[in-house]
Amino acid sequence: MSEPDFLATQATREEGLDRTGPYLSVDNLTVRFPTADGTVQAVTDLSYSLELGGTLGIVGESGSGKSVSSMAIMGLHDMRRTEMSGSIRVGGREVIGLSNNQLQELRGGEVAMIFQDPLTSLHPFYSIGAQIAEAYRAHNKVSKAKAKAKAVEMLDRVGIPQARSRVDDYPHQFSGGMRQRAMIAMALSNDPKLLIADEPTTALDVTVQAQILDLLQDLQRDFNSAIIIITHDLGVVAEMADQVLVMYAGQAVEHGPCKELLVHPEMPYTWGLLSSVPDVTASTEARLLPIPGNPPSLLHPPDGCPFHPRCTHRDKVPGDLCRTELPLLVQGKRGPEHLKRCHLADPDMIYATEVLPEIAPDLVDLVLGDGIEGSHSAGATGPDEGRG
Amino acid sequence: MFGYVIRRLVSGFLVLIATSVAVFALFFYGPTDPALAYCPETRCTPERLELIRDSLGLERPVVQQYGDYMKGIVAGNDFEAGSIVIPCDAPCLGVSFKLRVNVTDYLLERFPATLSLALGGAAIFLPMGLTMGVFAARRRGTFSDKAIVSSALVINAIPYYLLALLAYLYLISAWEVFPESGYFPLLEDGPVAWAKGLLLAWVMLGIAYSTQYARFSRGSMIESMGEDYVRTARAKGLSDRVVTFKHALRSAIVPVVTIFGLDFAYLIAGTFFTEKIFGIQGIGLTALDAIFTKDLPLISATVLIGATFIVAANIIVDVVYSMIDPRVRL
């Protein structure tokens, strides 16, 4: 978040509402779960913002804090077992500290969420229509008949054929893709301004994945909602997002406009993610390089940069810096839009000369050529891609 | 569904046949002679024993006795001994060796006591157990949760007959906190006498079973509260109450229904300890007495009735299950 913006929100915080800032703004969010074994540091000092109509992709491995941070936006954590600090503002309203009743209004109303596995996320004992109608009636005082009509309308809207007759079906009578469509219909039934999609395509067939992503994009155009798409699939990010946030061990490690970040990644963890993506059109010389090791325990995160135990480039940093000091999330050489958390002095050069030739040799020239212009264009991203 | 019920009825019927064969086999090939039970030890001559065997019909081949027994259930089988004729219409479960009465009528007379006991007990333990379980699950890890779980464990650890016996001895006999127990028919003696006589027995059944149901429904509830669809329900903006009862409890209750169906069948098949300790003349006490007097018709009748209840409960539970869970198609 830029300096003047921050001051402006400080000034208006007393009133509780700040209509001028971005629709969603997360500042220094820290989420911790005290357990018998110690405190799980699920999310640490996370900040980002999102405008209406914009799409943020949050990428990371399991346990990187991407779902935890998004559930915090809806106040879905059990506050008796969660320590949360920082600020989450939705439409100018601070979410942390809202009462249960206020949170209920927010959940499914202004902010809606769709989940990874639509089969387990829908109640097996209630019909699809009843579950959508219930979501609608939670936020609109209408009769059951009207709510059911709304359910039919929503199912129709998300492309369920014969919605009128299928509205009474149970989740197990739907296919995987149809169930996810039904979940989307349920989430959108109250015209939410923010839709959080937590790995919405992970449990689906590849062909169905594309349909669901198309549907989300269509609906976003119609409703002008903001979307957070949580995924570990960089293909989904490339397709959907205009901003990307890469998370590792509960922290943001790289953040920037989608194309910029995917073409010029500056953090070895992002390189690792890119190296793990198979590309069907790439030459056969391209190799898949998994990131060595496992994500760190969030009970005892490593000192310094949390990624250093798995980082293959840490020798390039002088001294013991990676092991001893947490790098700040700051802009690199590519302009203020692109933030990275890494000690490497010249990551672009290392990526272009060492990483890229291994994973996508045919792209080296493109990246090197673009790199020269990139420093100019990065500063000139349009307002719709900007960070508010 | 219809076909399924028919199939289950057929297999249930086979279970009952097998049960009756097993009871006969245990009785006749067991270590004791039923006739001895009716032959006074001091004056038991072989002739006298023979006479008793003859009058009980025990001298006939076992297979023939079994055949007669089955015939009685299907078609009725009046019992004649000398000048006395004891009418026994179908379903005839025989005539008691000791009491010389029609077993079917005798048990029908005893059944209301057992049913009253079971219904009253269930009316206490089912809501109490569920409430405690749901309450504990929602406050998982807190003091009230631990208090419920540990007191349930302590009560479960004490043998039920001991608990019931102590309750009877102290609360009725010694301190007279509760009225004297026994069964007073609802229609003849009125609801007050009926309820007073059964009160402590109900409470004891309620306590013993509700602790089990509390632990069981707590576990089931915790499991269902961790389900993805409960998170979805919360994410929809539903109130805590609706999430707990309409979404979480709805699925948590399924295994509880299953257990309850079987438990209730056991209860109406006769509660031995409760009926014995509180002096309630029901099926359980009858069965217990019949075992001591080696009264074959009475024993096999109580066993068969119990087996019928359990078989029926299993079928009913499955049908109810298919009504609760739309994924189950019978």
A56 and A93 inside one domain: yes
Domain boundary among A177, A207, A241: A241
CATH architecture classification, B106-324? Orthogonal Bundle (1.10)
What's the N-to-C CA distance of chain A in angstroms? 8
A72 and A105 inside one domain: yes
A235 and A277 inside one domain: no
Query: Would the CB atoms of A124 and B326 count as touching at under 8 Å?
Result: yes
Between residues A283 and B271, which one has the greater pLDDT? B271
The CATH number of the domain holding residue A230 is: 3.40.50.300
Count of structural domains within chain A: 2
A170 in contact with chain B, both atoms CB, cutoff 8 A: yes
Percentage above 70 pLDDT, chain B:
99
Model confidence at B26: pLDDT above 70:
yes
Q: Tell whether A234 is covered by a domain.
A: yes
Q: Tell whether A10 is covered by a domain.
A: no
Report, as an integer, the average pLDDT of A260-274. Answer: 93
Residues of B in contact with A74 (CB under 8 A): 235
What is residue A246's predicted lDDT score, i.e. its pLDDT? Answer: 96
Q: Tell whether A186 is covered by a domain.
A: yes
A235 and A267 inside one domain: no
Q: Are the C-beta atoms of residues B123 and B260 closer than 8 Å to each other?
A: no
A83 and A163 inside one domain: yes
- A342-367 pLDDT, tens digit each: 999 889 989 988 888 888 777 787 77
The pLDDT confidence band at residue A233, using thresholds 50, 70 and 90, is confident
B228 in contact with chain A, both atoms CB, cutoff 8 A: yes
Residues of A in contact with B324 (CB under 8 A): 125
Domain residues for the domain of A313 are 263-380
Q: What is the pTM of this model?
A: 0.83
**What is the complex's ipTM, to 2 decimals?**
0.84
Q: Which of A37-41, B98-102, B215-219 has the lowest mean pLDDT?
A: B98-102
A101 and A162 inside one domain: yes
Domain boundary among A193, A210, A241: A241
What is residue A204's predicted lDDT score, i.e. its pLDDT? Answer: 84
A150 and A212 inside one domain: yes
Q: Tell whether A296 is covered by a domain.
A: yes
A32 and A145 inside one domain: yes
Q: Which of A32-41, A51-60, B36-45, B55-64 has the lowest mean pLDDT?
A: B36-45
Q: Tell whether A361 is covered by a domain.
A: yes
* Nearest Cα to Cα of residue A186 among A102, A107, A125: A107
Where along chain B do its domains lie? 33-92, 106-324
A99 and A212 inside one domain: yes
A212 and A110 inside one domain: yes
- A9-19 pLDDT, tens digit each: 444 444 445 55
Model confidence at B147: pLDDT above 50:
yes
A306 and A237 inside one domain: no
Report, as an integer, the average pLDDT of B216-222. Answer: 96
Query: Would the CB atoms of A135 and B251 count as touching at under 8 Å?
Result: no
A320 and A273 inside one domain: yes
Residues of B in contact with A115 (CB under 8 A): 228, 231-232, 235
